[in-house]
Amino acid sequence: MPPEPRRRRRPSPSWDLAVVGVLLVVLIVASTTVSGFASSRNIGFLLLDVMVIALIALPLTLVVVTGEIDLSVASTVGLTSAVMGSLWVSGLSLELIVVLCVVLGGVLGAVNGLLVTGFGLPSLAVTIGTLALFRGLAFVVLGDQAVADFPADWTGWAIGSLGDTGIPNAVLPLALLAVGFVVILHATPIGRGLYAMGNNTEAAVFAGIAVRRTKFWLFVATGAVAGLGGVFWTLRFASARADNANGLELLVVAAVLLGGVSIFGGRGSLFGVLAAVLLLGSLRNALQLVNVSSDALNVLTGLLLIISVVVPSLAARRRARRRPGGGAPPETNPVPTTAASTGGP
């Protein structure tokens, strides 16, 4: 009789509430001490800044919950931006270009997914390699040139807001996508299967979950959403460049981990991740308004990333010591996926 997978670890409401609490404190302090932070114009800029981070964090959260990672998302944004500029110069319609860029992102995600699930390679090593590969291809496509003559109605929509609210137009499609991913992760058997994979891959396979196939399509979805992010990034800045979104992967991963998603898989929620996206964006925005350098902002992001990994690990060890007879902490690396042990994509 096949063993049952370990009980799914539910999202930690205490961690989610802590992130929301820190976010509220930051918003209150910044609104009362930083000139211009609470203005509708600045809030609009803040939301635009976090838009692509939130967009990519949605599928990436599902990937990390299964115990995998995708560090190539920013390079996918850069490559789709470069291809978008090249296709626009060639004379294709922008509607067709948008579709092609999303498809391209999905293909790039499929490359990651095939290497991870088809050849059993570690996703960390694979996506570090494709991070460099995709960025290099972006420079092959567009070089160091920039394409900037996109239609004003498209670029105007990307930076426009809903009436006089200051809320960007792109919030609505982002909200729809967020609802879809939240439902999938937290209210469907698919989501329960993702947590089971992160907890114990072999047990998930014995329970009848198509681990390799599911992970493959998660990488495809992450790539496709990153491609959409590349389209939005290009229209927002009205500039297609090969170095667009350079370094964005650090912010996306920091938001996912700070939101309470375990780097070892099997734990976390999208509610915490979305709160963490706003927290990171608010902190960076407030510090930029008081003229803190970009280098200091990168240091802050790195510190938050380390804290989001170290604190849960220490808490897990403390809980393990309190259990009768001690025991290993719950956060353990999932069993590596191999071509022989799991179902194919």
pLDDT in tens, 10-54: 555 688 888 999 999 999 999 999 999 999 889 989 999 999 999
Question: What is the dihedral sign for C-alpha 273, 276, 280, 286?
Answer: positive
- Tokens representing 323 are 């259990």
Residue 102 confidence (pLDDT):
97
207 close to 48: Cβ distance less than 8 angstroms: no
CA-to-CA dists, residue 229 to 3, 91, 111, 174, 226, angstroms: 41, 22, 18, 11, 5
Res. 325 pLDDT band, cuts 50 70 90: low
Q: Is the pLDDT of residue 141 over 60?
A: yes
Nearest to 333 by CA among 316, 311, 308: 316
Q: Tell me: the pLDDT tens digits for 159-214? A: 988 877 778 899 999 999 999 999 999 999 999 999 999 999 889 999 889 999 99
Mean pLDDT of 59-80: 96
For the chain, the domains span: 36-315
Q: Which residues lie below 8 Å from residue 331, measured CB to CB, with a gap of 6+?
A: 262, 264, 267, 312, 313, 316
Q: Is the pLDDT of residue 343 over 80?
A: no
Nearest to 49 by CA among 280, 313, 325, 204: 280
Looking at per-residue pLDDT, the higher value among 40 and 318 belongs to: 40
Helix or strand (DSSP H, E) at 88 = helix 73-90
Phi, psi (deg, nearest 5) at residue 302:
-65, -40
Rounded to an integer, what distance in angstroms lies between the CA atom of residue 247 and that of residue 48?
17
- Cβ atoms < 10 Å from Cβ of 162: 13
Q: Is the pLDDT of residue 342 over 70?
A: no
97 close to 240: Cβ distance less than 8 angstroms: no
Q: Which residues lie below 8 Å from residue 250, measured CB to CB, with a gap of 6+?
A: 298, 301, 302, 305
Res. 326 pLDDT band, cuts 50 70 90: low
Residue 65 confidence (pLDDT):
96
Residue 167 confidence (pLDDT):
85
Mean pLDDT lowest for which of 42-46, 207-211, 236-240, 298-302? 298-302
Average pLDDT taken over every residue of the chain: 87
Q: What letters, b where the CB count within 10 A reaches 16 and e where it falls short, cover 279-317?
A: bbbbbbbbbbeeeeeeeebeebbeebbeebbeebeeebe
Residue 285 confidence (pLDDT):
94
Mean pLDDT lowest for which of 17-26, 138-147, 150-159, 336-345? 336-345
How does DSSP assign 116-128, residue by residue?
IIIS---HHHHHH
Mean pLDDT of 89-94: 94
Phi, psi (deg, nearest 5) at residue 168:
-60, 150
pTM recorded for the entire structure: 0.87
